[in-house]
A and B are shown apart, each in its own frame.
Chain A
């Protein structure tokens, strides 16, 4: 009953262009990617190989980039795409299925009540305005009285924050909250549009910046992985803007091979992110 080679019906396609071919390999891949929410590149590659194995053992596994571009060309008409990003703290390449049909907090509306959505907006504002990109649990909970909709107690708000973590919108670290890398991928546009003045931007890649390092002289900011790449093997790092000495520790460029060889899985490296799934 499942047709293996189909493309999206013509009424859903824009203009006369050829769309990629979608097979069960791609569908299984999408289902599993969605199930995990966000995946690291290494896992994505494994997933891709697994999907090929299940459906089409003899076919050569397409290069990941082409595989994903193919899928995206089909999903484009649905305003859905597999987006690639990089984690802000340690530069891991990640992939997530993001939906661009709604570009606001309303994409969370199916899972959260009005007051919960407002709590998210408040937490988001605190995160954006903060120096570190983290908002403390206390500060967020203190805003509980200002929420739209049904009145929420602080205890309930704590639960809601955990729900945000479970749904991969926020991440918790030692009692403080920041945006999950998936949330950044999916909501970057919304964030930039709703906070045009408060939002920070990386001086190197010009992408949205939540966590990063700043120059203490001129104030420009950069993502940690951007810093790592820019100052790689530079013994005298200097601010690209004002040329003053860069005062922070330069992080390492993420190396997937090194990590795998060391045999440490991602989850073991961060024991303090206790409630991140």
Chain B
């Protein structure tokens, strides 16, 4: 055990106790009896080796519904930054696009005037604690993405899952393809990407060589299919969903992505919604059929973590 670890733990204990004392006088909520053994879900790992299990020990944060200003070191803006970090982490998880509007509405709220300061603090924390960069990809519509500063490695996965592809870009392309009756001309794709500031002939500061990315990388990873339009001279090309996109995401999910970008719901696009619903039914049927065929000795791992796009 590294030196000073035990005294660190003791010091932390003492500090927690002090914080609990100040909050006990303020808090009106009744306390729960803390677990004394470690078998149930929910016991923090940090307590597992502390010898003295204090009956009333509780994490100071639990009595704060939203990080309160009890801590003298915390300003309200710091509190907001912490809440913004929580918000951003959930977006990172789900690979969702992040808009300034979302952040304002859900986190910043009455501190609108301080958006930039709060975002700056939160971004700093994201880098220091998680190695994640908050990057503004669309300065006009104020859209952000979360990018890991750490280099991808081929082994960043467990049990055969792949790392997630570039945030939002692939989903955008799948979206366009879906909207164009499941086959989009290359020009259509670039039309959309150009609006986002991504060009075929210019290196993008996040995506790099975007043309290579979508015509080679994504195709190689089987997310997209890039086919020549039959009988086209000079040859023109079109994009379709690749088998991996079909496996890892669905029309409904892509439609949800689109709806979110437009701040609405999937049913606002009735024709696409109907198609997506039909697709969902078909998938449910197929899943059921495969389960019945395979029986209980499933070789296909059920609840397959469907790789990168399953989190979208």
Contact = CB atoms under 8 A, between A and B. Distances in A.
Interface residues of A, number: 104
B131 A28 contact: yes
Contacts of B96: 111
A13 interface: yes
A111 B94 contact: yes
B303 A12 contact: no
A72 to B, nearest CB: 5
B111 to A, nearest CB: 15
Q: How large is the interface on B (under 10, 10 to 19, 20 to 34, 35 or more residues)?
A: 35 or more
A100 B68 CA distance: 12
Given A13-B73, A265-B301, A272-B302, A185 B291 contact: no
A17 B42 contact: no
Contacts of B2: 66
A160 B42 CA distance: 26
B30 A271 contact: no
Interface in A112-169: 113, 150, 155-156, 159, 166-167
B35 A205 contact: yes
A32 to B, nearest CB: 6
Given A65-B45, A271-B296, A276 B303 contact: yes
A273 B302 CA distance: 7
A84 B93 contact: no
Contact of B42 (A13, A73, A101, A185): A185
A274 B34 contact: no
Contacts of B45: 65, 68-69, 72, 81-84, 95
A226 interface: yes
A66 B40 CA distance: 21
A18 B11 CA distance: 9
Interface string B155-177: 11011000010000000000000
A188 B58 CA distance: 13
A24 interface: yes
A181 B239 CA distance: 40
Given A12-B78, A73-B46, A103-B61, 4 more contacts: A36-B305, A66-B2, A204-B37, A272-B302
Interface of A: 1-3, 6-9, 11-15, 17-18, 22, 24, 27-28, 30-32, 34-37, 39, 43, 46-47, 50, 53-54, 63, 65-66, 68-69, 72-75, 78-88, 91, 94-95, 97, 99-104, 106-107, 109-111, 113, 150, 155-156, 159, 166-167, 181, 184-185, 188-189, 192-193, 196, 202, 204-209, 223, 225-226, 229, 265, 267-268, 270-277
What 3 A-B pairs come out closest when comparing CB atoms? A207-B40, A85-B41, A27-B131
